[in-house]
Chains A and B, each alone.
Chain A
Amino acid sequence: MLVKFEPGEIRDTRWYEYATRFLFGGLITAAAGLIAQRFGPAVGGLFLAFPAIFPASASLIEKHEKEKKAQFGFDGTKRGRVAAGVDAAGAAMGTIGLMVFAVVSWKLLPQLPTWLTLFIATLAWAGTAAAAWMICRRRWRERHSGVPTQKHKELGA
């Protein structure tokens, strides 16, 4: 299976780690509103894509990977940082979807009910982000394996 959903992994995350993300998420949402009030929607809107919770999330991934290695007596520092880097690469692909979300919202909010616009925009984000991930994954595999892909076979390579 390409992607797995493992609810058991949620148990590895401690309550205060979710509380941290709740705090940062709440603060940036409140701050975006205050900034828009003070400086106008053109400036406030920038902060709808501010990576406020990203430092906390990346640190948690680094910490969890390090702990997994430590259980077997190894130093997981490097592994933790690389895992956080992989997560960041995924986020970079997700931002392509985020741009699509913003475009859909910008165009449809004045025309459609809010709930419908945000629903369509969220689907557009999910679809675009997943497509970007699949394309990057395929290209990475083509570069790092000697096994020809279907495309290579069709081209006679």
Chain B
Amino acid sequence: MAEIILRFFVGGTVVCVFAVFADALKPKSFAGLLGAAPSVALATLSLTVWKKGSTYAATEAESMILGAAAFFVYAAVVSSILRSARWSALSVTGGSLVLWLACAFALRYAVLG
């Protein structure tokens, strides 16, 4: 339980730090790079190495490659739909999370078995 609470606070803090930078950067397309910042990974991997060792964390990082590929598909599709301006950002980004899940797990089973 203590570990989960620690993960929550460390993860939330790292995400906020990147969010502050993103808000201050212009143009918006460059600030968008920080929407895919490794904020969750930085918090998680450092805590995982501490708790479970570097080999375990390296396995997580290997899977993260596939999660990032799924994120690329998600972001590209979301960008395309939002530029048509037909639906709100929340409905498009929230609804498309299903796309990320489908891509990530399809890649995981296709590549890692």
Contact = CB atoms under 8 A, between A and B. Distances in A.
Contacts of B14: 25, 29
A10 B4 contact: no
Interface size class of B (residues with CB under 8 A): 35 or more
A53 B19 contact: yes
Q: What secondary structure prevails in chain B residues at the interface with A?
A: helix
Contacts of A42: 59-60, 62-63, 108, 112
Given A4-B27, A53-B35, 17 more contacts: A10-B20, A21-B16, A28-B11, A29-B10, A45-B67, A46-B63, A48-B40, A48-B67, A53-B39, A54-B78, A54-B93, A55-B93, A59-B89, A85-B80, A87-B28, A91-B75, A102-B68
Contact of A26 (B9, B31, B59): B9
Contacts, number: 333
Interface residues of A, number: 84
Interface of B: 3-5, 7-16, 19-20, 22-50, 52, 54-72, 74-76, 78-83, 85-90, 92-94, 97, 100, 104-105, 108, 112
